[in-house]
Amino acid sequence: MRTAWIVYKKEITEILRDRRTLMAIGLAALATPIVLSVISQVATKTATQEYTIGYSGDIPTGLGELLSATSLKLVPVSDPAAAAMRQVDIGVAFKPGEIDEYYDPSRQSAQITDTRLRTVIGQYSAAQAAAALQQRGIDPGILTPVRIVARPLTSPVQAASNAFLSFFLPYILITMILTGGFSAALDSSAGERERKTLESLLLTPAPRSRILLGKIGAVTTISLVAAVAAIGSMLVALSQVSLPKESGIGHIAVSPVAVPVMVWVAILIAVSFSAVTLALGTLAKTFRQGQAYVTPLYFITIFPASIILFIPDFNPSLAYYLIPILNAVLVLRDAIVHNAVEWPTLVVTSISLVATGALAWFAALRLFTREALLTRS
């Protein structure tokens, strides 16, 4: 193991003197708070933004107050349909016992205004109906023969926070591990060929498996540093950024169970990615060629990370946990959302990621010992 340690120290020294890698880690630390800040601002703006309803006719008594309390501003217009195309978010024509609504479904503001308007009108109608029944001495409760009493098992704020984290945390963790180690892996593999140091390195009596082990160790370390920088800055940013209460998120914190799971999964992913990128980099003759080989990895990793965004309640069978990256995303989601470790899924995920890393390591070692590595030009 002394050889692996010698290679590890040298690789770390070189990587830390490489601007590309330092920039990748710096960007990882900076990008996350910036993205969160933008999300926060957009969420705040969306939640508090006032939308405009152009109307004609007489506003039913009391409805105007309800609408303005929901940040819906009423503006008189002569033609609500024409106004809804550009001038206002939606147009309504108040008629006795009826409201004609004009809106363009392709406009997001029109959709939001429509939803708010329907909610307010629903509340207004229910209140009017209840008042009419009470005047006739009838219990308004007959309007709702079955009532739903919500008893959430976690607070809505915590649930929204977990949903947010269950997407963002795995996504950032995985992409930052890949991005952070990307440059280091290529420099350590394709870079050796490009600057013509590979032959001298292979001429030493040091076993090639140990050389490779040292390189994987160094790339793994840098990947983890990048991931820790990204996650750390994300958590700091989350503690500073106040999301609007209307968005249902508020204060965001990672559950205690998720932290050790995240550390364990991060290490496994980092080792696997390091071995895979080193194997691909070994195939390349130049850094640039290595970039072309490694870039598709982004798409392969981003797809499973995004699945949580599109199918938040995706609950696959245990066999799905054999698929690398997807399994890491699912395990992290489970730990974040349920605040518990599901041991069978964690074990299958660990086996899958260790096997992926081992296969990539063997592939890299085979490539590293091939004569073609030196003779191919």
Q: Residues 29, 198, 335, 336: which binds other proteins (CB under 8 A)?
A: 198
Q: Which of 17, 86, 147, 151 binds other proteins (CB under 8 A)?
A: 17
* Residue 202 contacts other proteins per CB under 8 A: yes
- DSSP H helices, the chain, are 2-16, 19-48, 63-69, 80-85, 108-135, 156-188, 190-194, 198-203, 208-240, 258-283, 287-294, 296-310, 326-338, 343-368, 372-375
Binding of other proteins by 1 (CB under 8 A): no
Say whether residue 208 binds other proteins (CB under 8 A): no
Residue 46, number of CB atoms within 10 A of its CB: 14
User: Beta strands 90-95 and 72-76: pairing type?
Assistant: unpaired
Binding residue (CB under 8 A) for other proteins from 196, 313, 317, 319: 196
Burial 128-150 (b: 16+ CB within 10 A, else e): eebeeeeeeeeeeeeeeeeeeee
Contact status: 3 vs other proteins (CB under 8 A): yes
Residue 14 in contact with other proteins, rule: CB under 8 A: yes
- The 3-state secondary structure of 266-297, one letter per residue: HHHHHHHHHHHHHHHHHHCCCHHHHHHHHCHH
Residue whose CB is less far from other proteins, 6 or 359? 6
Query: CA–CA separation, 370 vs 192, rounded Å?
Result: 15
Closest approach, Cβ 301 to other proteins, in A, equals 29
Total of chain residues touching other proteins, rule CB under 8 A: 25
Based on the shown chain and the rule CB under 8 A, indicate whether residue 204 belongs to the binding site for other proteins: yes
Contact segment (CB under 8 A) with other proteins among 13-21, 101-109, 152-160, 166-174 equals 13-21
Q: Is 338 in the site for other proteins (CB under 8 A)?
A: no
**Which residues here bind other proteins, judged by CB under 8 A?**
3, 6-7, 10, 13-14, 17-18, 195-207, 211, 371, 374-375
